[in-house]
Amino acid sequence: MTASASIAAIDEPEFDDPDVSGSRGRAAGGKALIWATSVLFAGVLIVQILYAAGAIEFGFANWRPVLYAYALWGIGLGVGQVMARGEAGLRALFVLPATLFTLAVAIFPTLFGFYIASLDWNLAATGGPHFNNFNNFVQMFHDSYYWNALVNMVFYVAMVLVEYAIAFGLALLLNAEIRARKFFRVAFLIPFMLSPVAVSWMIGKSLMEYRFGPLARLARDLGWQTPAFFAYPWTARFTIEALDAWMWIPFMVILLLAGLQAMSKEVLEAAKVDGATPWQAFWKVTFPLMLPVSITTLLIRIIFKLKLADIVITVTGGGPGGATDTISSFIYRVYADRSNVGYGTALAMFYLVLIILFLTLLLRVAKRFTRNVI
Amino acid sequence: MAIAAELDEPFAQADRSQTTKIVLARVLIYGALIIWAIVCLFPIYWTITTAFKSAIDVTHGHLVPWFDYVPNWKGWRSIGLSPDTIFEISTPRHEFISRFENSVFAAIGSSLLALVLGSCAAYGLSRFTYKFGPMKNDDILFFFISQLILPPVVLALPFLVLYKELALLDTRIGLIFVYTLTVLPIVIWIMRDQFNTIPVELDEAALVDGLSIWGVFFRIILPITLPGMVAAFILSLVLTWNEYFFAALLTATDAKTLPVMVASQTGSQGINWWSMAALSAAAIAPLVIVGIFLERYIVKGLSTGAVK
């Protein structure tokens, strides 16, 4: 303890020691580098904006140089930090690349999206973008298909609870004393590995095919004479949900199984000694202890459920009559049909706001739940 | 045995009913496990066998090869991957392979980029204290992880417009950027958990030995967390290989990925089942193999972070 402390004490001056004037010069150089690259980036950006606006004659053919300038600015910022701030700069270098990347690829496009959302911008038309007084949002409130898709999302998200129940059951089974556990674990994982698009064909379009699909045959044998899985709104909705559940239950099983395995065996043993039936042991011991893991699992699952799009687009295209539409698939269709970026983005941005509100609320509730348990 | 014989009659009866209960429980457990295993595996079995069927086998609902139908290479021939066409020039195969390549580049490129960016950020957040305006470590972490909730649909159209201006539309590098973004939060989440399990004393000892903080990171910490990195990488690979939404909007001809190709084939009416099955089987094969052999890493990747 004292040894390390004394080493640190010796270390301390060593950092600043190698002639003070040199490190000061390096610091000034670092600041200069940051300034120079910032000016370069700003310069390229302004030139290109002016050129795009038609104010000046010279500029670049596309915006790619702005991207390069941004990358250069990022490098300048990193190197400059290290030169100007030494050790602290080296530390900052760990988070700097990821931050700059996220700013450029997530934050900027999102903000840009809010801007596009206020425009009437048809990519197919030659007119280009023009501001339309937030008409997109007015139009959105009258778009019954959009609200219908939102209601569908409520259904899909609610069904996460059913998926959770099934996944919990499967996790308990896998956690029991069984043979060939490895085989079952791999088998249960496989659906998670498959591409939703391939699954749409494999299950949605061939296993469930009305005439020859094995599932349709099975349904006929079980007494459903017209096994048209995607013909009626509710059957279609449930079938899409089943497909999505099939792919995502493995994910929940893995998380819950990990939780079960991390649980201490003694508590369950104690419950058994006290004469609890398995049913009681589950509800009084396992389930409450699993609540934190369960909530994390449910939250992540809901986040991914809110992105549901691929199978809807490829299997039903939102049909029949929008019955299976999710927000994402609906916007995809809006864009594919009308190539109106402005309106589609407006819908997406409104959805983003709803998601953030919903998840914030959910996190609050989840926190209260976990606090009560522990 | 001797003890059992000494027991009173009602006791033995209770014992017997106990055994039947246990046997019944076993049967139920294995029954449920087997049923779910069939639910998971049958679609894959169906796809692979259908790839070797002809029309009549499909319409008659034949299921077991050699037993109720004779397998043939028709489906694989249609995408140029059957034994007799594999060495000949085939346009469908050429297209398939170029899509496959695009998928490989996009998935591996973005997973690597996310791993590099994410590991550095996660290590920094796990070891040092940052202050960026009002944001402290936890806020910065939340800033990264909260990107997970961004649905693709929110970014898709802005990206379409931006990429058009940046001349990145329909390029692999463009796809790599988007995919990196979608998996970066997951990588940071997993890796921070990995770094947190390593005691800080190890870093301090290495610093005392004269390594710089980046030296510590590369030479001491990274080798220890290699399994965690592999887990994060494979999980990213799964998510990016299967991605469809962005690829469908942002690529057209050059950088089109495998899922887009599969989807465009399903869309057309009257497509042959056997060729579709062969295409699907080829598209899912890499990840099914990954799933079988690297299951451990996927489980590890998914369960760190979520389970404390």
DSSP A11-75: HHHHHH-S-HHHHHHHHHHHHHHHHHHHHHHHHHHHHHHHHHHTSSS---SSSHHHHHHHHHHHH
Rounded Cα distance, B58 and A304, in Å? 35
Residues A30 and A145 in one domain: no
CB contact under 8 Å between B33 and A189, yes or no, is no
User: Does A223 reside within a domain?
Assistant: yes
Give the pLDDT of residue B119: 94
Does A80 share its domain with A157? no
Q: Where in chain B is the domain with CATH 1.10.3720.10?
A: 91-303
Which is higher by pLDDT, A343 or B307? A343
Question: pLDDT band at residue B268, thresholds of 50, 70 and 90?
Answer: low
By CA distance, what is A330's nearest residue in B? Answer: B153
Q: Which of A18-27, A84-93, A346-355, B280-289 has the lowest mean pLDDT?
A: A18-27
**So what's the pLDDT on residue B66?**
82
Considering only alpha carbons, which residue of chain B is nearest residue A248? Answer: B40
Domain match, A90 and A156 both: no
Q: What is the ipTM of this complex?
A: 0.87
Q: Indicate the residue type of A37.
A: T
Which residues of chain A make contact with B307, given a CB cutoff of 8 A?
255, 258-259, 262, 293, 296
Contacts 24+ apart (CB under 8 A), A38-46: A38/A73, A38/A76, A38/A77, A40/A69, A40/A72, A40/A73, A41/A69, A41/A70, A41/A72, A41/A73, A44/A69, A45/A69
Of A84, A116, A148, the last residue of a domain is A116
More confident of the two residues A133 and B244: B244
Residue B192: both structure tokens together: 């921070």
Tokens of A205: 């379009």
Together in a domain, A188 and A270: yes
pLDDT over threshold 80, residue B181: yes
A189: containing domain: 139-373
Task: Tell whether A14 is covered by a domain.
Answer: no
Count: domains in chain A: 2
Give percent above pLDDT 70 in chain B: 93
Q: Give the residue from A116, A150, A181 where a domain finishes.
A: A116
Average pLDDT value for residue range B145-154: 90
Across the interface, do B151 and A328 touch by the CB < 8 Å criterion?
yes
Q: What is the pLDDT of residue A307?
A: 92
Average pLDDT, chain B: 86
Q: Tell me the mean pLDDT in the region A69-79.
A: 90
Single pTM value for the model: 0.87
Looking at domain B91-303, its CATH superfamily turns out to be MetI-like (1.10.3720.10)
Taking residue A302's Cβ as centre, other Cβ atoms within 10 Å add up to: 19
Q: Which helix (H) or strand (E) holds A130?
A: strand A130-131
**Domain membership flag for residue A123:** no
Start-end of H helices in A200-284: 214-221, 233-262, 265-273, 278-281
Same-domain check for residues A211 and A305: yes
Interface of A with B in 8-67 (CB under 8 A): 62-64, 66-67
Q: A177 and A255 in one domain?
A: yes
Chain B, residues 54-93, CB within 8 A of chain A, namely 58-59, 61, 63
Alpha-helical runs (H) found in chain B:
2-6, 9-50, 55-59, 74-78, 91-127, 137-145, 152-166, 172-196, 200-208, 213-215, 222-224, 226-241, 245-250, 258-267, 273-293, 295-303
In angstroms, rounded to a whole number, what is the distance separating the alpha carbons of residues A247 and A135? Answer: 39
d(CA B110, CA B106): 6
Residues A84 and A217 in one domain: no
Q: Assign B51 a pLDDT band (cuts: 50, 70, 90).
A: confident
Q: What CATH number did the domain enclosing A185 receive?
A: 1.10.3720.10
pLDDT exceeding 70 applies to what percent of chain A? 91
Q: In terms of domains, do A111 and A207 share one?
A: no
A128 in a structural domain = no
What's the average model confidence in pLDDT over A335-362? 89
* Ramachandran area for residue B89 (φ above 0: left; ψ -120 to 50: alpha; else beta): beta
pLDDT bracket for residue B274 (50, 70, 90): confident
Q: Name the residue among A195, A123, A367 with its Cα closest to residue B163.
A: A123
Q: What is the mean pLDDT of chain A?
A: 85
For residue A126, what pLDDT is reported?
67
- How much is the pLDDT for B38? 93
* Chain A residues within an 8 Å CB radius of B308: 292
Peptide bond just before A320 cis, omega within 30 deg: yes
Question: Rounded to an integer, what distance in angstroms lies between the CA atom of residue A347 and that of residue A122?
Answer: 15
Interchain contact A92–B (C-beta under 8 A): yes
Identity of the residue in A116, A178, A250 whose CB atom sits nearest the CB atom of B157:
A116
Q: Do A197 and B290 touch (CB under 8 A)?
A: no
pLDDT digits (tens, 9 = 90+) for A16-58: 444 556 677 888 888 888 888 888 888 888 888 888 877 787 8
Q: Which of A116, A149, A170 is the last residue of a domain?
A: A116
Task: Indicate the range of A13-27, A124-138, B85-99 predicted with least confidence.
Answer: A13-27
With contact defined as beta carbons under 8 Å apart, do B177 and B251 qualify?
Answer: no
- What pLDDT was estimated at residue A6? 36
Which one of B50, B61, B302 has the shortest CB-CB distance to A217?
Answer: B61
Task: Look at residue A112 and tell me if it is in a domain.
Answer: yes
